[in-house]
Structure 1
Amino acid sequence: MESIYEHLNFYVYVILMMIGLWAMIAKNNLIKKLIGMSIFQTAIFLFFVSLGVKSGDDATIPILEPMAQEAGAAQTEVSGSDEMGHEEDHGGHVAKDTNPDHYANPLPHVLMLTAIVVGVATLGVALAISQHIFHDYGTLEEDEILDQIQHG
């Protein structure tokens, strides 16, 4: 029973994907098909972002970690001075821990940001095409549009 609760989010993603796929296949209205496509895309985005999530306090960003309260040479390597001679703290140092289990993977999040931009652009183009179809045929119902195309 614990396994079901641990992976509940994946079941939700599959259900959302199936709802979106059903809407794209079964509906005749073009706007309803676009809504189904958006639901399907959102489920995929959520799935990939959830793959990159790390739980617990051991997940930190790669390369940089918070500045330790160290005195001496380590502090002067990270600190610099500005034009006025004031010391600046850059806020981090190169991590010496090479264990990948201690770092969160940013790649799924970055890829999904790109996919979201592409999805929004695709939806915008699809809505513009739907508007032209409505202007030309007077309907957004797939069956009626096909009848008008076949019968001239």
Structure 2
Amino acid sequence: MIESLFTSRYTYVLFAILLVIGLYIVVASSNLVKKVIGLNLFQTAIFLFFISTAYVEGGSSPIIPKEAFAGQGYASPLPQVIVLTAIVVGIALTAVALALIVRIYDEYGTLDEETLREVRADD
């Protein structure tokens, strides 16, 4: 049972592992850069999930020739388009987050979340 899961659905197992690792880094780390790295891992897991669910066994590209028959499977290009858009948005969000982290470090001299809370409480 478990062996067949790892051999046939290994992308889903990898998805779950990346998702848990990314979520753990976001929750457990107090360093802001590590939190951004955890969010990127989490995001990568979601991309892998979308691509894995879009896979069609024996499917072909959605360009349908005239001689196609009704039972032939075609892969939808929509999940790939969504993932490409999400990658672009993710890169932009990562750049903005890192720019904010640089500004926070310039202003407060630390990237530790607890230290930032203490400094903000004193102000």
TM-score (norm 1): 0.74
Matched, 1:29 2:1: no
* Runs of 4+ displaced beyond 4 Å: none
Contact 1:48 1:112 in 2 (8 A): yes
Cα distance change of structure 1 residues 49 and 64 upon mapping to structure 2, 3 Å threshold: same
CA RMSD of aligned residues (A): 1.6
Aligned partners of 2:36 and 2:97 also within 8 Å: yes
Residue of structure 1 aligned with 2:19, choices 3, 17, 20 = 17
SS at 2:80 equivalent? helix
CA–CA distance in structure 1, aligned partners of residues 83 and 119 of structure 2: 40
Match of 2:61 in 1: 61
Aligned length, in residue pairs: 121
Confirm whether residue 108 of structure 1 aligns to residue 108 of structure 2: no
Question: Whose Rg is larger?
Answer: 1
**Separation in structure 2 between the aligned mates of residue 125 and residue 95 of structure 1, nearest angstrom:** 50
**Equivalent residue for 2:44?**
42
Which consecutive unaligned segments of at least 5 residues does structure 1 have? 66-93
1:139 aligns with 2:78: no
State the identity %. 41
Higher percent of residues as helix: 2
Gaps of 5+ in 2: none
Separation of aligned partners in 2, 1:139 and 1:151: 15
Give the TM-score normalised by structure 2: 0.90
Report Cα offsets for 1:97-136 as digits up to 9, x if no partner: 344x511111111110011111111101000000110011
Worse-matched range after superposition: 140-149 or 1-10: 1-10
